[in-house]
Amino acid sequence: MSNANPYQRRRVLNRFLEVVVTIAIVTFCLGPLFWVLSTSLKPMGAEYLIPPELWPSKPTLQAYEVILGISEPGREDAQESSLTGVEEVGVASTLGFLLPIRNSLIVATSVAVCALLVSALAAYAIARLRFQWKIQSLMLLWVGGLLPAVMVIAPTFVLMRTFGLLKTLPAMILPNIAYNIPLATWLLAIYFSTLPWELEDAAKVDGYKPLQIFWKVILPLSAPGLFSAGVFAFLGSWGEFMLASVVSMGIADVQTVPVAILNLSFEYRYQWTWISAAIIVSVGLMVFVALIFQRWVIQGLTAGSVKY
């Protein structure tokens, strides 16, 4: 008779409350995304139905085909759009979301690789080499990361014009490397300093030079630290908007995902199935990356802002 056992009853109640709380938090975090996913699967126009459907009765990938440039928005779509007040429709090139995804992948990957390399070298020197001003060097590299983007955007634009890099991807890659060095150096310096000091002694006995110790001993042992720093640089430069929007100067060929999605929403501001599909496409990959590297993301976040 379970009723007779108050302890067991309380445990069941606790377990029930735990599940309720979990569902509430999951709904809070994923609910908005679920709604956009649902919208993205609706046929065009169905997003305005009242009452709205929680989940489309006839889910379709139409919006994704338009976004990814597989099918061009047809004549019916054009009519629909002119009714809703959009002047220009049917410019397939502005809708091909594949190009921005390619651009963003190029930018994010180059930034992550370069920032990791440069930061790891600096962090290694700070954490493992004998010299004064260690803390001061780390502070100098780290504090710059606290600067608001708008503080540096105008001179950076001018700098890129001087270099002749406007309307090119390197104009986004180079400054983004700098933006991601502070956190990466910080995380890696803390990580490197936790490795045992016997490593160096042993390697020196074997005749390793500092650069060899860095490359062959420290780096291979630092995968977790490199993962978290790398994921941050990748996600950060993938989502970076202000610089990307300013240096791309409206040229479709060099737009990254955040810039393209905003332009899409200006040009087709009534086509929320399309915009929703674009949101899901650009969010999907990042959420995937963040979930795969979840452990390192959480470690990195904690070490990068609170732990001290």
Partner 1 sequence: MKIRLREPALAVVFILPALIFVALFLYYPLLQTFFYSFFKLHRTVDWLNESFVGLRNYVAVFKSEAFRDSFLFTLYFTVLTVVLELSLGLGMAIATFSVHHRLRGILRAVLVVPWAIPPIVSAMLWKWLFHADAGVFAYLLTSSGMVENVPPFLTNPTLAIHSIIIASVWKNASIMGILLLGGLASIPNDVYDAAKVDGARTGFRFRRVTFPMLVPTILVTVLFRALLALRMFELSYAMTGGGPGTTTDTLSTFAYKYFFTYARFGVGSSYAMVIFAFVFAVAIIYVSRVRGNLRFKE
Q: Which of 18, 88, 206, 253 binds partner 1 (CB under 8 A)?
A: 18
C-alpha Rg value of the chain to the nearest Å? 25
Residue 161 beta carbon to partner 1: minimum distance, rounded to whole angstroms: 9
Ranges within 251-290 binding partner 1 (CB under 8 A) = 257-258, 261-262, 265, 272, 275-276, 279, 282-283, 286-287, 289-290
Residue 135 beta carbon to partner 1: minimum distance, rounded to whole angstroms: 6
Residue 158 beta carbon to partner 1: minimum distance, rounded to whole angstroms: 5
204 to each of 28, 31, 209, how far by Cα in Å? 54, 55, 7
Q: Which of 12, 13, 70, 143 binds partner 1 (CB under 8 A)?
A: 143
Residue 1 beta carbon to partner 1: minimum distance, rounded to whole angstroms: 25
Query: How many residues can be counted in the chain?
Result: 308
Nearer to partner 1, 109 or 265 (CB): 265
Task: Mark the segment that binds partner 1 (CB under 8 A) among 68-76, 86-94, 146-154, 221-229.
Answer: 146-154
Ranges within 150-169 binding partner 1 (CB under 8 A) = 150-159
Ranges within 82-121 binding partner 1 (CB under 8 A) = 118-119, 121
Residue 299 beta carbon to partner 1: minimum distance, rounded to whole angstroms: 9
**What's CA 79's distance to the chain center, in Å?**
36
Residue 86 beta carbon to partner 1: minimum distance, rounded to whole angstroms: 16
| Helix, strand, coil share (%) of the chain residues, nearest 5 | 75, 0, 25
Residue 162 beta carbon to partner 1: minimum distance, rounded to whole angstroms: 10
Ranges within 33-72 binding partner 1 (CB under 8 A) = 33, 35-36, 39, 47-52
Residue matched to tokens 């001061």: 136
Q: CA-based angle 271:275:278, to the nearest 5?
A: 145
Ranges within 199-238 binding partner 1 (CB under 8 A) = 210, 214, 235, 238
Nearer to partner 1, 58 or 130 (CB): 130
CB proximity list for 212: less than 8 A, separation 6 or greater: 203
Q: CA–CA separation, 20 vs 25, rounded Å?
A: 9
Secondary structure string (H, E, C) spanning 72-138: CCCHHHHHHHHHHCCCCCCCHHHHCCHHHHHHHHHHHHHHHHHHHHHHHHHHHHHHHCCCCCHHHHH
Q: Which of 8, 79, 84, 302 binds partner 1 (CB under 8 A)?
A: 302
Nearer to partner 1, 61 or 118 (CB): 118
Task: Mark the segment that binds partner 1 (CB under 8 A) among 59-67, 82-90, 217-225, 240-248.
Answer: 240-248
Q: Which helix (H) or strand (E) holds 148?
A: none
CB 38 within 8 A of CB 53: yes
Nearest to 160 by CA among 168, 149, 172, 171: 171
Size of the site for partner 1 (CB under 8 A): 101
Q: Which of 78, 221, 242, 252 binds partner 1 (CB under 8 A)?
A: 242
